[in-house]
A and B are shown apart, each in its own frame.
Chain A
Amino acid sequence: MPEQFIWGMEVFANGLMAGVLYALVALGFVLIYKASGIFNFSQGVMALFAALTLVGIMEGQVPFSHLINAVFGTEIHHFGWHVPALAAILLTMVVMVLLAWLVNYFIFRHLVNQEPIILFMATIGLAYFLEGFGDIMWGADIKKLDVGLPQGINGTIDEVTYNLFGYGFFIDNLDLWATFIAILLVVGLVLFAQYSKHGRAMRAVADDHQAALSVGISLNFIWVMVWSLAGFVALVAGIMWGTKSGVQFSLSLIALKALPVLMLGGFTSIPGAIVGGLLIGVGEKLFEFAIGGMIGGATENWFAYVLALIFLVFRPQGLFGEKIIERV
């Protein structure tokens, strides 16, 4: 087999893995969009905030320590304890649910029945607030996150591919775990949205706030639930990205990559977020590998957006998006 082809296969596999991480962020967007018709601009920041909180709890960091020290002239930074990863993840989830409740209580409760654009603007505000709040609460330095997920080259794949092609593929264990977790999340979320009573209510709310109210669905409950779910997905995405590249504020920028993913997959489809993520991941890696070299490289920065643009022209609802219903 030609070397080029084998390298291409490795790039393809790595693209799939990168795509899973894009998909994880995109999933959070889809969830909130499906349930409330809100395009949640703050999803990426939520992932960052979740990761920051997780590290903070694990390391026993004192929240708002800089603020406290500045005001009271104290010198406290750490509680001096370490929380085990699993407990810290659970505690972070509690924080995310609390955040969901606060977001609903202070913002979205007051915006029932408003135009989608107004809700969207509110999430932009929320994104900036959360970013600053995360900074004040946990500090802006880059943190290392290790919740015990295996990292490094996967020996089995290396060995099997070496025996097959005479060339061992480099696949990161973390990426394999991310894939596995993403699959679990998606299956769980699809089952929940399609077949459970609250999932159905969630989709009903997305279609029509007032009609949902009129049949006795409590918007407050559904919205807190949806934002908690989004917080959960953000937490998972935050763990994966944080483990891979450290918890830093540029993490919130990966949210931007989720946009082309959504345009490809469709804003309303959970499987779409996954397929879109994979397509973008594989597409940009393969494009860089095959063509990037000829045109000076760094195509990964723009490839996804160009692909999304093409989709917007020919299939605006995305691959799996709900057809735009128009009756005359």
Chain B
Amino acid sequence: MLDAGRTDETLLEVNNIEVIYNHVILVLKGVSLSVPKGGITALLGGNGAGKTTTLKAISNLLKSERGEVTKGSITYRGERVQDLVPSDLVKKGVIQVMEGRHCFEHLTVEENLLTGAYTRGSSRGEIDADLNMVYEYFPRIKERRKSQAGYTSGGEQQMVAIGRALMSRPETILLDEPSMGLAPQLVEQIFNIVKSLNEEEGYTFLLAEQNTNVALRFAHYGYILESGRVVMDGPAADLRENPDVKEFYLGMSDEGRKSFRDVRSYRRRKRWLS
């Protein structure tokens, strides 16, 4: 896979999966992607394109939503993982940070972080060391460690959610829409932290994001999903320059930025690949 990420070793391989909810609703119609070790791979697309479903199919949270992978395979380090329960996957080093943060609101920030270490049999000392590591990356939540997570701001909750995932000592983090509902400045801040976690600590990220612009600036490789299919993939730098991506996802065209109205009417006439 070209120059995806920083190594050639593939950690996660999703092969042509089909996902059906409630036995009738077909959501993914053959999605394939691969996540190289040490890279940030972005999964892009609009609402309902299937980004979250893809992540949940990997982390196996689908079952609790009555969804199932009916075709295709998901392998992690060459091993079939789609029949494992989420806790087994966490033990293997794959953890999902869910869309919309999902902090435990009645637990304090620190307790939230500690739940992340649930699957580990580590000693108190090791866990404390990891707590400090998380607080170093997110100094802002250190100040709020004793407050109930439900009372912290959206940005802080996103930091808690990511920190909580880090506490499980993962290898791969499935990060779902970290920018949701946050001010642009905070989005930038969170993506910068993701980037440094990737570069300094070597975490691998698979990132689902609607904010194509930000995601393509930080990711190494990107996949674009549309109604349950991968319609395009390539190194982030190439995608950023691609005229179609520019037009549909970045709101730009050869003549510069177009008015939203023009884009919409144009889009109605020409839908690509479907």
Question: Taking beta carbons and an 8 Å cutoff, which residues of A are in contact with B?
Answer: 112-113, 197, 200-201, 203-204, 206-218, 268, 322, 325, 327
A207-B106, A215-B115 are known contacts; what are 9 more A-B pairs with Cβ within 8 Å?
A: A203-B107, A207-B107, A210-B65, A212-B115, A213-B86, A214-B61, A215-B165, A216-B87, A216-B119
Q: Which of A203, A204, A212, A268 has the most CB of B within 10 A?
A: A204
A213 with B64: CB separation less than 8 A: yes
Contact of B102 (CB < 8 Å), options: A203, A214, A216, A218: A214
Residues of chain B contacted by A209 (CB below 8 angstroms): 64
Nearest-neighbour CB distance to chain A for B142, whole angstroms, equals: 19
Contact of A200 (CB < 8 Å), options: B97, B103, B111, B165: B111
Identity of the chain B residue whose Cβ is nearest the Cβ of A201 in the assembled complex: B118
B98 with A201: CB separation less than 8 A: no
B114 within 8 A of A: yes
Residues of chain B contacted by A218 (CB below 8 angstroms): 85, 87
Proximity string of chain B (86-124) to chain A, C-beta cutoff 8 Å, 1 when within and 0 when not: 110111000111100011111100011011101100000
Nearest-neighbour CB distance to chain A for B173, whole angstroms, equals: 11
B148 within 8 A of A: yes
Residues of chain B contacted by A215 (CB below 8 angstroms): 90, 95, 115-116, 118-119, 164-165, 168
Of all A-B residue pairs in the complex, the 5 with the closest CB atoms, nearest first, are A216-B90, A211-B102, A325-B150, A216-B119, A207-B104
Nearest-neighbour CB distance to chain B for A323, whole angstroms, equals: 9
Nearest-neighbour CB distance to chain A for B122, whole angstroms, equals: 11
* Complex CA distance for A322 and B85, rounded to whole angstroms: 32
Proximity string of chain B (150-179) to chain A, C-beta cutoff 8 Å, 1 when within and 0 when not: 110000000000001100100000000000
Chain B interface size band reads 20 to 34
* Complex CA distance for A322 and B98, rounded to whole angstroms: 25
* Complex CA distance for A312 and B113, rounded to whole angstroms: 34
Residues of chain B contacted by A325 (CB below 8 angstroms): 105-106, 148, 150-151
* Complex CA distance for A210 and B61, rounded to whole angstroms: 7
The main secondary structure of chain A at its interface with chain B is helix
Q: Which of A204, A213, A215 has the most CB of B within 10 A?
A: A215
* Complex CA distance for A211 and B56, rounded to whole angstroms: 12
Contact of B115 (CB < 8 Å), options: A113, A201, A210, A268: A201
B118 with A210: CB separation less than 8 A: no
B34 within 8 A of A: no
B210 within 8 A of A: no
B150 with A208: CB separation less than 8 A: no
Residues of chain A contacted by B91 (CB below 8 angstroms): 216
Nearest-neighbour CB distance to chain A for B95, whole angstroms, equals: 7
* Complex CA distance for A137 and B148, rounded to whole angstroms: 46
Nearest-neighbour CB distance to chain B for A116, whole angstroms, equals: 15
* Complex CA distance for A30 and B97, rounded to whole angstroms: 30
- If A215-B115, A216-B95 touch, whether A210 touches B87 (CB-CB below 8 Å) is no
Residues of chain B contacted by A112 (CB below 8 angstroms): 64
B86 with A211: CB separation less than 8 A: no
Nearest-neighbour CB distance to chain A for B75, whole angstroms, equals: 20
* Complex CA distance for A212 and B87, rounded to whole angstroms: 10
A-B contacts, 27 listed (Cβ < 8 Å):
A197-B114, A200-B111, A200-B114, A204-B115, A206-B106, A207-B105, A207-B107, A208-B103, A210-B61, A210-B64, A210-B98, A210-B102, A211-B103, A213-B61, A213-B86, A214-B86, A215-B115, A216-B87, A216-B91, A217-B119, A218-B85, A218-B87, A322-B106, A325-B105, A325-B106, A325-B151, A327-B151
Residues of chain A contacted by B150 (CB below 8 angstroms): 325, 327
A200 with B98: CB separation less than 8 A: no
A216 with B168: CB separation less than 8 A: yes
